Amino acid sequence: MSSLRLWLTDPNPASRRQARLGQGYLAWLRIRRNKLAMTGLVIVGLLLLMAAFAPLLAPHDPLAQDLSRRLLPPGTPGNLLGTDDFGRDILSRIIFGSRITLYIIALVAVTAPLLGLLIGTISGYFGGWIDALLMRITDIFLAFPRLILALALVAVMGPGVENAVLAIALTAWPPYARIARAETLTVRNSDYIAAVRLQGAGAPRIIWGHIVPMCLPSVIIRVTLDMAGVILIAAGLGFLGLGVQPPLPEWGQMISSGRKFLFEQWWVATMPGLAILIVSLGFNLLGDGLRDVLDPRSTGK
């Protein structure tokens, strides 16, 4: 173990693989020192485990209805977090709902920032009419309130998880494009970009290999800040009945169905709400730590 650590922390790595693994190890050490980031990592890790082992963890079938046991309060034996209006176990529904939440988050987190990065860097790098065209398109998307645009898209494409994801991704990219373009404008005339152009590099290589790494930190901050918003928009679409369809246990939709009993049976809406809160918090904390880790300049000399 200690020889492995020595190999990883060797200041003079012998190969590219060793250097890369060593940098990864240093990044891990840095994130481990950051208590808040570790908290976020633990929350996200637990969410992953919960989604992976949902059938083992859940005490009941999330879809099984039992009208004789409807609206039981939390702490009832057999129903730790109580039951909803169809007598379904809320804990089991939250556990199974983590799969849907993760699925939506993963898809949106991959597609929207990538699309935004590409459009922003291309726009900033080439300038001229390409820039004008792409930025006007971005403006049009930015001019709509996000939820309204997502609603319109879902209404056109029909409700469902995939369409909800697509709608969220299509409404989430413009801020990333704006950030990426601004960063691109600050680096495109720098000497290191001139140097690589002078070496004969084409535009795709310059944009992907040299400009995107400079834009990544600010985009990642934005992604983690948006992650909570994505969960909430997905929940909002579910709440309005345009996202995940019943009886699937999606957190937003669970809140929506619990709204009717909010004053008498508060737990039906509160429990999934708490789940959304905790997961959003976890992603925010983790993202904050990741930003520090991703900047090699924060490594000690």
Which one among 12, 68, 128, 263 touches another protein, defined by CB under 8 A? 12
Among 76, 186, 190, 245, binds another protein (CB under 8 A): 190
Stretch 259-298 residues interacting with another protein (CB under 8 A): 296-297
Residue 76, φ and ψ in degrees, nearest 5: -65, 135
**223: nearest Cα among 140, 121, 141, 111:** 111
Q: Which of 64, 209, 259, 262 binds another protein (CB under 8 A)?
A: 209
* Angle at 258 (CA atoms; ends 100, 97), nearest 5 degrees: 15
Other beta carbons within 10 angstroms of residue 155's beta carbon come to 12
> Is there binding between residue 19 and another protein (CB under 8 A)?
yes
Q: Which is nearer to another protein, 4 or 148 (CB)?
A: 4
Q: What are phi and psi of 83, to 5 degrees?
A: -130, 160
Question: How far is the C-alpha of 24 from the C-alpha of 278, rounded, in Å?
Answer: 27
Q: Which range of residues in 71-79, 81-89, 103-111, 185-193 is near another protein by CB under 8 A?
A: 185-193
List Cα–Cα distances, 32 to 25, 119, 291, 293, in angstroms: 10, 34, 13, 10
Exactly one of 195, 208, 247, 260 binds another protein (CB under 8 A); that residue is: 195
Alpha carbon distance 252, 256 (integer Å): 6
Q: Which is nearer to another protein, 22 or 246 (CB)?
A: 22
Q: Of 9, 76, 245, 299, which one interacts with another protein (CB under 8 A)?
A: 299
Instruction: Using CB under 8 A, count the residues that bind another protein.
Output: 25
Identify whether 247 is preceded by a cis peptide bond (ω within 30 of 0).
yes
Q: Are 82 and 72 in contact (CB under 8 A)?
A: yes
- Choose between 219 and 230: whose C-beta lies nearer to another protein: 219
Q: Which range in 24-32, 64-72, 137-145, 206-214 contacts another protein by CB under 8 A? A: 206-214
17 scored as a contact of another protein (CB under 8 A): no
Pick 46 or 201: Cβ nearer another protein? 201
Task: Compute the distance between CA of residue 103 and CA of residue 93 in angstroms, rounded to an integer.
Answer: 16
The helix/strand/coil state of 253 is helix
Residues engaged in binding another protein (CB under 8 A):
11-13, 16, 19, 22, 190-192, 194-196, 198-201, 205, 209-210, 213-214, 296-297, 299, 301
